[in-house]
Chain A
Amino acid sequence: MTLPAGISRFVVGVVGVVVVALGAAGCPGTRGAGRPALRFLVPANERPFWLPLAATFEKEHPGLRVDLAEGPVNTDLRESLTTAALLAGDGSFDLVYLDVTWTPKLAAAGWLLPLDAAFPEEARRDFLPQALAAGVFRGHLYRIPFRTDVGLLYYRKDLLAAAGLPPPRTWSELEADARRLQKPPGLSGFLWQGAQYEGLVCFFLEVLRGHGGFWIDPETLEVGLDRPEAVASLEMLQRFCAPGGISPPGVAASKEEETRRLFQDGRAVFLRNWPYVWRLAQREGSPVAGKIGVEAVPTVSGVPGAGTLGGWGLAVARTSRHPDEAIAFIRHATSLASQRLFCAPTGFAPARRDAYDDPALLAANPFLPELLKIHASAAPRPVVARYAQASDVLQRHLSACLGGLASPRDALVAAARETRALLGSEP
């Protein structure tokens, strides 16, 4: 017996054992391979609400199947998974369920199918214009809105009424009211999202617009971060979370859920957050049920502010082997019947205009008319291919200022410089 043979036999044996063991562990086969399947990734927490939509679609299209892959709840993780699948270009997903900010990037990368022909002018009129516009990149429509979102100001109706105050329309009113009503640490004045992440950008944009400033002009690629309006905006936020301000220091590390919990526990007078808070704060057993009101975000001048537009939509992957069927599914998912099926139990804001007059939806969510009014002035985030980088530049510098690393002016001057350098390479 020669040595090499012995060793190779050993290696072959080991590999054999592993392969057999794995075979025994079971490699799940592909089920129902006969019917073409439309695959896409949905967050695990939304999946139960997508299932009825898939079922009604399959009933209408007997030859088709909808395969809802269950993705992680965390949005960033789903973004990475989606990116990896699209980058590999292997057709593992037919549809993409995407956030409002992903459109420019994925479209620029050439991974999405233009939907201009599939959704002509008259079909587009069904949707809220702001939500639809967020799906357009360089003149082509790539994403059809499925549900929408807009930044709102929540306030404690009971506390304001007891002090004889109307809901604040300007930032200085909000600051004065909060200062008057807050009793820290048990009751904070104003909660918002200040951690280094996308939510901080969403909120800062609202403040910035309310001060008459802008971040990036998507047409001219002009950057407005080092203008006085921007500096004043950040100075105000810094003042809010400074000692003795109207926001607790922890706000600079807060995301939506932490602030929502505190507000819902009755521990804050004002809260900037998304529409989902309404349903949770108003439900039975909530300490603030029936005691909250909602308004557009304040401005300096007192005209109702423009909340930042959010929301999720559907697009077709260019590598899909069933693009026509995928488009049919988008039409189905954005029909009034489907919107009712999805938004009534979840409380999400529908993307269709007529859903806001729908008796069933109104019964499930009486807050829809107010939302529609505020949504009309929702403002998008700039549509540039390198949005993710631009946002990270802004996040870092805003967070650096709130964390005490830089003055508002220095932070914004640096952010403006980096953003200009970044956009200089914008194709």
Chain B
Amino acid sequence: MSALPRVLPAPRGPHARRARRERALLLVPVLLLLGLVVGLPALRVVLLGFTRTELADGVRSVWAGLATHARTLHDGRFLSALRNTALFTGLSLLLEGTLGVALALLLHERFPGRGALRAAVLVPWALPTSVMALAWAWIFHDTFGMANDLLERLHLIGAPVAWLAQPGTAMAAVVIADAWKTTPFVALIVLAGLQGIPDEVHEAARVDGASAFQRLLRITLPLLVPSLVVALLFRAVQAWGAFDVVYVMTGGGPGGSTETLSLYAYQSYFRYLDFGYGAAVATQGMLLALALAALVVRLASRREEA
């Protein structure tokens, strides 16, 4: 993308080798820390996925090759968790992306009190999920909850909705709670992207007679795509591993309709003491996400080249 290569190292010779060694050394701390805290533990769990856990007169892990992994093929609960995770991730990203862009556009305008609003918008992101999820469960409670109280006062619903008791509304409630918490993150990064668009671009369009709406549609939004992609990439990774929100709000219910892969892996590991299977579920979830990511990157880069 960048027209000017930023660095032009001499292709050969001691100088280039030195520069490469230098760069490699600079990457050591990151690799060390990630390797120690994420790499090694993850490797241990991945290896565990190739064992079968026996629970009789003690827990034993027996090497099982791919047998444990194969269990997911006949496991309806795994498939439903996979579907829920995908649905949760998709809906969350959709809602956060839309709201995030809208908020960013709003915060980019100049108006009195903008600083205060910018700070206010960031508040949800500063609240700990572990506790706010509990609060959201109460907000969606059919009798005590703020959601029903508000909707009834506004005459949007006639009778209280039992949000967490029905599959569709339960998923919606969980997605809303998640999006509430993370929209500020998306808005922040998109806002940064907005600020990077030079004013001249807008001026030129204005001179050309484009209306405000046309400018938004044809100039601003396309220029926002890269920063939105960055924000959503990070969010996608987090949403795919979503745990606390679901665990606290619905426990995966009703009828398993909000159970995510993380939740299922956690239950298998910590409650069923089926370490092998929990590890296999987590590993497959990660591999599927990787495959999905690879596909997206491949498609994106092909489009860029075209």
Contact = CB atoms under 8 A, between A and B. Distances in A.
Q: Do the two chains touch directly in the complex (Cβ atoms below 8 Å apart)? A: yes
Interface string B217-250: 0000000000000000000000000000000001
Given A11-B29, A105-B273, A249-B142, A185 B160 contact: yes
Given A11-B29, A110-B59, A249-B165, A399 B253 contact: yes
A404 B141 contact: no
If over half of A's interface residues share one DSSP class (helix, strand or loop), that class is named, otherwise mixed; here it is helix
A148 interface: no
A248 B143 contact: yes
Contacts of B257: 400, 403, 405
Given A7-B25, A250-B160, A403-B255, A389 B165 contact: no
B55 A196 contact: no
A385 B54 CA distance: 11
A105 B274 CA distance: 11
Contacts of A11: 28-29
Interface string A58-71: 00000000000000
Contact of B56 (A108, A400, A401): A108
B54 A403 contact: no
A386 interface: yes
A301 to B, nearest CB: 31
Interface residues of B, number: 41
A195 B56 contact: no
Interface in B156-183: 159-160, 162-167, 170
B280 to A, nearest CB: 15
Interface in B128-160: 141-144, 159-160
Interface stretch (A149-157, A304-312, A390-398): A390-398
Contacts of A197: 251, 253
A251 B141 CA distance: 10
A84 B278 CA distance: 14
Interface in B184-206: none
Nearest to A200: B253
Interface in A227-261: 248-253, 258, 261
B267 interface: yes
A249 B59 CA distance: 42
A406 B255 contact: yes
Interface of B: 18, 21-22, 25-26, 28-29, 54-59, 77, 141-144, 159-160, 162-167, 170, 250-257, 267, 270-274
Interface of A: 3-4, 7, 11, 14, 79-80, 83-84, 87, 105, 108-110, 185, 194-197, 248-253, 258, 261-262, 267, 385-386, 388-389, 392, 395-397, 399-406, 427
Which 5 pairs show the lowest CB-CB distances between chains A and B? A196-B253, A400-B255, A250-B142, A110-B58, A403-B254
